[in-house]
A and B are shown apart, each in its own frame.
Chain A
């Protein structure tokens, strides 16, 4: 989902660049606090590793192929701050040397893949680990986090394209989210297999963070989570939530273009408790949309957590 140059307009480029500068600055500051000089070559090699890993394609349905994003993989292996910096540097090199992703679109690509990918992935992973600390909790958490990071990054990308007026949300959102829901499966499988193989051969590399360590990883200061959370939520609210209640319009446009009967589509496709994604009683449309999105995300995470807990209990009994 590397956005090339030409697909984003000026306001989106400026906004995404500011967001990724904020996120990257925060990551560098936290990193300099925990960093020893010993870790610098390790980060360089980890970055080269993810770069090479991204060049391996795995088959997705129908002859297309996807490649690893690696945000969750490297965040689990090296920590989230390092993960953000490493994925950002990979994107810089890809933009300048491979022309993979535009130069001016670098801000958007860093925001989607490095910052949103790592932060959402790590939050998901941590959340699942908190509830299911066992071995299966580790693998389910890692896989779910990898899948989520890919899909959310793709949705964010669709939001930016829509905000730029390039690809309407009604077309971009289903296409990007749909494709990346498939690619995300590959990402999840590979991430879990790689982490399992690293654990099997060199558990010391994951000391304190491995599948057998329960929840041993100390929770980082709350300020970290708050700053990253604020950056990601603000970005998602700006790029994605203005559209999330609007997508039936886009669908109607497509339908009109292809001459479908629009009346048939005007009935809601699915009645939901948060109808039209608006919380009742809140005046500001954008604020209420963002709030409704947050509530929806919370509900989905709780549901995911309950499912994982059930699965890990079952596997604990059988094993």
Chain B
């Protein structure tokens, strides 16, 4: 997977990327809330909104294909719930309303994530006085997702080079032991990080 797989376009440089994070976050929240409470079915407003969102994406240098793939990525639960809606009496109309609403909200969320660097979101959360523990843990988590993901990739490569493919039953066992190893390495790393943070004068 791409090493920058989460928010690949969040560090682009466009007028939209340069806007303050607070403006973008509140605009996205407001938009999602409006989409939620509005009673549309298939009227003109939703295609217009969709064009607006895709236009914003193009303006920010995010390819529409990427938006599309991200929406598909959330597709499983969306498909499951939609099928469940279709099963009930009178579900067809509700199906379209809800599907349009959730696709629009999804697009908004993907757009927000890819126009706002997460570090800016974190400093925003600090400014609105979220508990300090929460913000610090969130920042550390975001930083080390990528590191641990690489770590797991290395472990996977090492494993595959030692065992040429593996049976079905042992796959469960392997998955479990790899995760255990990853947890142990994470705690060891946390110790080193703590020492490094203290050495640099960190005070919780």
Interface range on chain B: under 10, 10 to 19, 20 to 34, or 35 or more?
35 or more
Instruction: Using A52-B149, A99-B70, A193-B172 as known contacts, say yes or no to A5 and B102 having CB atoms under 8 A apart.
Output: yes
Interface range on chain A: under 10, 10 to 19, 20 to 34, or 35 or more?
35 or more
Please give the distance in Å from B113's CB to the nearest CB on chain A.
Answer: 5
- CB of B94 within 8 A of CB of A44, answer no
Instruction: Using A10-B37, A85-B137, A197-B177 as known contacts, say yes or no to A202 and B184 having CB atoms under 8 A apart.
Output: yes
Stretch at the interface among A34-42, A240-248, A261-269: A34-42
What residues on A are CB-neighbors of B100 within 8 Å?
6
Per the bound structure, the CA–CA distance linking A42 and B189 in Å amounts to 8
The yes or no answer to A92 lying at the interface (CB within 8 A) is: yes
What residues on A are CB-neighbors of B176 within 8 Å?
189-190, 192-194, 196-197
- CB of B112 within 8 A of CB of A40, answer no
Q: How many A-B residue pairs have CB under 8 A?
A: 237
Please classify the interface of chain B as helix (H, G, I), strand (E, B), loop, or mixed, using the class held by over half of its residues.
helix
Please give the distance in Å from B171's CB to the nearest CB on chain A.
Answer: 8
Instruction: Using A44-B190, A171-B88, A253-B89 as known contacts, say yes or no to A89 and B182 having CB atoms under 8 A apart.
Output: no
Per the bound structure, the CA–CA distance linking A68 and B183 in Å amounts to 14
- CB of A4 within 8 A of CB of B74, answer yes
From B35, B118, B147, B194, A48 is in contact (CB under 8 Å) with: B147
* B residues lining the A interface (CB < 8 Å): 6-7, 28-29, 32-33, 35-37, 70-71, 73-74, 77-78, 80-81, 84-85, 87-89, 94, 98-102, 104-106, 109-110, 112-113, 118, 121, 131, 133-134, 136-145, 147-149, 152, 172-173, 175-177, 179-184, 186-187, 189-191, 193-194, 197, 202-204
Starting from the known contacts A49-B148, A49-B182, 5 additional A-B residue pairs (CB-CB under 8 Å) come to: A10-B36, A48-B145, A93-B141, A98-B113, A193-B176
